[in-house]
Structure 1
């Protein structure tokens, strides 16, 4: 069977019965790892299969924290080859990653400088440089994006200050997933959900705010056409078809992993808030129009892009990064389940930390930073792993409660339940605390939310589902959902 037969449709036997499903490939790359997951519809349910996994992380290069984009693309290709090796050739694929980070390409499509990572310190002080040109309040009114010091707007201001030659030479700015989609297809676009994390997209128009871009002195010619998730971008470059031995469509998912995770929420009504739980906790709701009010800005809400031009109205919370870092401080010798268990045993520990404080963004030692925070705020200092974890988990749950109350005040309505999607849903103890702190029913799953949302966008594009509601209904039927009261 050739790849052309696979691409045409499901392979059928003489009686017309389906003997092989269509496969869709989600390449889901996070800050610490990436994986290739195949999805298909079999017996009325979505079935997933992980075919390739690899490690990721920032490296020190030229004095900065950077991503090794060449190594990452090799992993992307290796995972695609693995699909061919096991005889499960995808009809399409799409890539999702974290937000804000990008590359600049010159007129010959060569990368200018490095793919600098969002935890790098080059943006220190760049907020002041931006606000000299456009006040913080006006910037929020235009973009609706919460101030985070790693936002692309601050990275580009650092680029303008420290590497002005790159800004002048750049013919294209491509975010991380845009860049890898370009390497696969030769097509340059800026996918909408990823682009909104730049803090340079007009929230009302869902397009680049070129007036703002020019005001800031950025090279407006490097910004690409805004493309919406669900668009078929193209097919593989001829050289890659030869290398892999097959071709396939490349379909844009919500290439910002948050958008993909939210698409996988297994709900067909709107009586819920979501938490995309992982390294970060993104807590919010979907809405039709952005809220760019001063009240929204003061309360640290952000209006990121979602599927179907929806606005993901949410707050960025530090999330399980803090627990991951505490575990790393102990050389990863404890499993996350063991950490949860020790936290439960220390449940009466009274101290709390602000899980949105920048001091927890990239400390040399997270455990010591948590202890120092408790000392600075006159609280009991945690001495054991259980006490440290109990402090973090309880602080997260209480932050979730405050955030949901803020959303309810903003929208003038209440929500009866919370849907948690993503790997953080495996933290049973945190789920229990969340239900207790918020007083709401907590529905957990699917834990592979980002990959499922990526695959769902591809399936909708191909016609497996009529739209988001039908896809979400299938997701609800396909995966176990655990409920906490």
Structure 2
């Protein structure tokens, strides 16, 4: 391992973004947040979009702050975002309109159309990706069906992190981990699935070359370097550009007996494997094979995470009730256990205008009491999330034919002690929570590996373990019966 170095992690999530300084002292990491900003969909004429120009401005604010506060040259800059979304560029490299948000309704019915034309099993055998209507494949198919002029005019498609890396460096590439979320990558060859795309009428000439995580893209464009005034000549590195890939890279002690949950707006629940699992059982259970930073596979399932609770809180704020997270947890602790449950992945919760109302409606239709307070609603959300995690872990054990003994929860949800304890109780397994900042740590760690400061993923994970305190949770055996009964009810709800 090499001497000390400073790295910048640009971490863009679906609800907020951050620019974080990662300091490496030769043995441990330390993180310092330089800039935080909100992110979210913009509703224009009934369609949901992202605002990448505002995000670009916020990114540069964070870069400027580093130059204002520190004189040490940066060893690297890495950027990660959520999956599946993209921008289209014309021949001059300019964006063709604002990118759509994955929750936009334009993908309604597109999965079914793709199944008719290419076959559900054939799509999975080639891509190995979970079927979700938000996937890039169905977004592009909707543009094909609409004869969208932007698609006709497009010279290049860049996934969201690749877009910002292009603006930083001038290089147009597709980093492997983010490309794998699109459902357009051949899972075995790890190149674009040209035959599938051509069957669906999606142009393949707009897709850039795929590069591995850890690829050094080069220095900042002259205009960017001049504007931000960064010391030295920092290199931009295509880290695990999918935020979950970066988060998983930073999980300590992730052995074959462990299952991880990357807990944020989404809960991503899975294990690491050397090769994609493309069996009929994997297809039937709807698992996904996404790329890992070391060229491995993250065998996982996407489940709705804190989105329900985030949207409830947003609605309550609109109504004049600005609950803090601590207050919501206190109120949830006072609410009656297991009074009402929901399926977090039900389409009713994809993007409702009023999440608490959507939850009440679901409970009413399913013959359950409607949550009648913020605390009851919050408890319903968290108990349901914990039960959804158990359902995925049970399915994963069926697929792997082995027991997963330990749950490792990382990301923002790992600091929600009530949710973590619920997960331990629902699954009747010990849970190790942390690091909260797994994505930023994984981002910085891959930069450190790419620049020769750390000798590989295993050494990087050991460094993370020595840098960040972890919290252990033990399942309450006295509650096992209640959670088992609740899981039976939850399973019945999902079958309706």
User: CA, structure 1 residues 267+293, in 2 after alignment: closer, same or farther (shift >3 Å)?
Assistant: same
**Alpha-carbon distance in 2 for matches of 1:386, 1:270:** 37
Structure 1: runs of 5 or more not aligned: 1-8, 11-17
Q: Of 171, 178, 195, which residue of structure 2 is paired with 1:194?
A: 178
8 Å CA contact 1:346, 1:390 repeated in 2:
yes
Alignment of 1:212-227 (within 5 A): 212-227=196-211
Report whether the alignment pairs 1:78 with 2:67: no
8 Å CA contact 2:75, 2:451 repeated in 1:
no
8 Å CA contact 2:247, 2:262 repeated in 1:
yes
CA displacement 1:297-323 (0-9 Å, x = unmatched) = 222211111111111111111101111
**Alpha-carbon distance in 1 for matches of 2:175, 2:336:** 43
Paired residue for 1:47?
Answer: 30
Alignment of 1:161-172 (within 5 A): 161-172=145-156
- Secondary structure of the structure 2 residue equivalent to 1:308: coil
Higher deviation after alignment, 84-93 or 72-81:
84-93
8 Å CA contact 1:83, 1:89 repeated in 2:
no
Paired residue for 2:457?
Answer: 468
1:43 CA drift (Å): 6.8
**Alpha-carbon distance in 1 for matches of 2:36, 2:208:** 31
1:366 CA drift (Å): 0.8
**Alpha-carbon distance in 2 for matches of 1:152, 1:397:** 28
1:244 CA drift (Å): 2.5
Paired residue for 1:299?
Answer: 285
Paired residue for 1:93?
Answer: 77
**Alpha-carbon distance in 2 for matches of 1:474, 1:62:** 48
CA displacement 1:444-470 (0-9 Å, x = unmatched) = 001011111111110011112110000
Paired residue for 1:337?
Answer: 326
8 Å CA contact 1:27, 1:37 repeated in 2:
yes
Paired residue for 2:212?
Answer: 228
8 Å CA contact 2:338, 2:383 repeated in 1:
no
Higher deviation after alignment, 309-318 or 323-332:
323-332
Q: Of 238, 247, 262, which residue of structure 2 is paired with 1:261?
A: 247
CA displacement 1:149-185 (0-9 Å, x = unmatched) = 1100111011112243222221110011000000110
Tell me the matched-pair count: 468
Q: Of 100, 120, 139, which residue of structure 2 is paired with 1:136?
A: 120
- Secondary structure of the structure 2 residue equivalent to 1:443: strand
Q: CA RMSD in A?
A: 1.6
Report whether the alignment pairs 1:314 with 2:297: no
1:66 CA drift (Å): 0.8
1:277 CA drift (Å): 0.3
**Alpha-carbon distance in 1 for matches of 2:336, 2:266:** 23
**Alpha-carbon distance in 1 for matches of 2:383, 2:92:** 52
Q: Of 147, 150, 168, which residue of structure 1 is paired with 2:131?
A: 147
Higher deviation after alignment, 129-138 or 316-325:
129-138
8 Å CA contact 1:229, 1:253 repeated in 2:
yes
User: CA, structure 1 residues 469+99, in 2 after alignment: closer, same or farther (shift >3 Å)?
Assistant: same
**Alpha-carbon distance in 1 for matches of 2:353, 2:228:** 42
CA displacement 1:337-368 (0-9 Å, x = unmatched) = 22122212224243211111121111111111
- Secondary structure of the structure 1 residue equivalent to 2:294: helix
CA displacement 1:189-229 (0-9 Å, x = unmatched) = 01111111111111111111111111111111100100111
- Secondary structure of the structure 1 residue equivalent to 2:205: helix
Paired residue for 1:15?
Answer: none
Q: TM-score, normalised by structure 2?
A: 0.92
1:62 CA drift (Å): 4.7
1:268 CA drift (Å): 5.3
1:63 CA drift (Å): 3.7
Structure 2: runs of 5 or more not aligned: 475-496
Report whether the alignment pairs 1:240 with 2:229: no
1:410 CA drift (Å): 0.8
8 Å CA contact 1:268, 1:469 repeated in 2:
no
Higher deviation after alignment, 66-75 or 336-345:
336-345
8 Å CA contact 1:271, 1:417 repeated in 2:
yes
Paired residue for 1:273?
Answer: 259
1:77 CA drift (Å): 1.1
User: CA, structure 1 residues 327+62, in 2 after alignment: closer, same or farther (shift >3 Å)?
Assistant: closer
Paired residue for 1:35?
Answer: 18
- Secondary structure of the structure 2 residue equivalent to 1:116: coil
**Alpha-carbon distance in 1 for matches of 2:190, 2:419:** 35
Report whether the alignment pairs 1:401 with 2:387: no
8 Å CA contact 1:29, 1:35 repeated in 2:
yes
Paired residue for 2:413?
Answer: 424
1:83 CA drift (Å): 0.5
8 Å CA contact 1:214, 1:220 repeated in 2:
yes
Paired residue for 1:13?
Answer: none
Higher deviation after alignment, 126-135 or 142-151:
126-135
